[in-house]
Amino acid sequence: MARLAQGVGCACIAAIGPAVVRDIYPRRLIGVGISMVALSVAVGGAAGPTIASLILSVANWPWLFLVNLPVGMVAVPLFVSLARPGKPQRRPFDLVATVLGAMALGPLLVGVDTLGSGRHTLALGEIALGLVCGALLAWHQVGRPNALLPLDLLKIPLLSLSVVTSICSYSAQILAYVSLPFLFETVMHRSQVATGLLVTPWPLMIVIAAPIAGRLSAHYPAAILSSIGLAVMAVGLGLLAAMPDQPADWSIAWRMALCGVGFGFFQTPNNATILTAGPPSRSGAAGGILAVARTLGWCIGSALVTLIFAVSPTGATIRCLGVACGFAAVGALVSVSRGAVRRR
């Protein structure tokens, strides 16, 4: 129940946060605003693994949660005092769509987790239930004004291609994020602290790349910036997969940094495109699409990690990195195709 409460809070931030950015920043500077969000997330991502490793080296796991309380006690009142008042619009609550949405994503996520326990029949049943409920949700939402699932926005080619690009990139990211610690600790025999430090260059380079990409997005098309970023990320993932059996720490670090640079250049322009492809009044819906694309990519990547490790544990991380490289390359191709859509 505690994790469920965390999820509710994260859902609010993930869906509404981008809409707040669009409300604050003028259209020409939205890329800068999105880059600030990416910067804050990346700072947490860079510091998180190292801080967690240090905490676990001197304390037990509850402190991983307790350490966040002082941050929340400062952040919540600070936001309430600074945030501009919203402009609520009266819309009916769609209970049926909410239940179907929960029944689509919930069993899908649980099914992915069940795959890892070896109960394949149960896992396939849970995944099938999620897919059926997802299809029912799509059918229920067709033609509805202010739909919970904004299918009308997905009819915009620029937005739909950006969503596909996002799904590919987050699938690649989680394939690497989940599988690499197994490689570092089990195969290369690094400690927990060392593993945390080896993961850090990826988000650390996002801290550097995201603001640069945000500035460049005001002058260059997102299709170009995001495609370059995903291509660089694909190269970095390929180089990680091609590492020797016992590489030096610096050899791992610069490959992780290359992935972080690529992801940072992709993320900001692509997210800004999703937010601005539709009308300003639908910013909240666009933010929801952005969050769902990210979650769906993570689900696909997690499921593939589980399947690859279950089918062939030996060398599984290298296979995961190869698949991640493929996802990033496909995302780059989809991304570059948006240039033709924009010109039309």
In a domain, 239, yes or no: yes
Indicate the number of domains in the chain: 2
Q: Are residues 236 and 306 in the same domain?
A: yes
In a domain, 217, yes or no: yes
In a domain, 64, yes or no: no
Question: Where in the sequence is the domain holding 109, given as residue range(s)?
Answer: 92-145
Residues 6+ apart with CB under 8 A from 141: 97, 147, 148, 149, 151
Q: Are residues 101 and 200 in the same domain?
A: no
In a domain, 24, yes or no: yes
Q: Are residues 284 and 299 in the same domain?
A: yes
Q: Are residues 132 and 181 in the same domain?
A: no
In a domain, 79, yes or no: no
92 close to 144: Cβ distance less than 8 angstroms: no
* Residue count of the chain: 344
Q: Are residues 263 and 327 in the same domain?
A: yes
Residue 188's Cβ-count burial label (10 Å; 0-12, 13-18, 19+) is middle
Q: Are residues 122 and 245 in the same domain?
A: no
Q: Are residues 21 and 166 in the same domain?
A: yes
20: domain CATH number is 1.20.1250.20
Tell me what pLDDT residue 152 has.
76
**pLDDT in 10s for each residue of the chain, 344 residues:** 888 888 888 878 777 777 777 778 887 777 777 777 777 777 776 677 778 878 888 888 899 889 889 988 998 899 888 877 766 667 777 888 888 888 888 888 788 778 766 787 888 899 899 999 989 988 888 777 667 777 778 888 888 899 999 999 999 999 998 899 888 888 888 887 788 788 888 888 888 888 888 788 778 888 888 899 999 999 999 999 998 888 888 999 999 999 999 998 888 888 888 877 777 777 777 777 887 888 888 888 888 888 888 777 888 889 999 999 999 999 999 988 887 765 44
In a domain, 73, yes or no: no
Q: Are residues 126 and 241 in the same domain?
A: no
192 close to 56: Cβ distance less than 8 angstroms: yes
In a domain, 82, yes or no: no
Residue 220's Cβ-count burial label (10 Å; 0-12, 13-18, 19+) is middle
Q: Are residues 54 and 104 in the same domain?
A: no
332 close to 234: Cβ distance less than 8 angstroms: yes
DSSP 149: S
Three-state secondary structure of 176-194? HHHHHHHHHHHHCCCCHHH
Q: Are residues 113 and 209 in the same domain?
A: no
In a domain, 85, yes or no: no
Q: Which of 236, 225, 228, 213 is nearest to 37 (CA)?
A: 213
Tell me what pLDDT residue 343 has.
45
Helix, strand, coil % over all residues of the chain, rounded to 5: 80, 0, 20
State how far the Cα of 235 lies from the Cα of 299, in Å rounded to an integer: 23
Q: Are residues 236 and 180 in the same domain?
A: yes
Q: Rounded to 5 degrees, what are φ and ψ at 243?
A: -65, 150
Q: Are residues 241 and 126 in the same domain?
A: no
Q: Which of 145, 164, 189 is the last residue of a domain?
A: 145
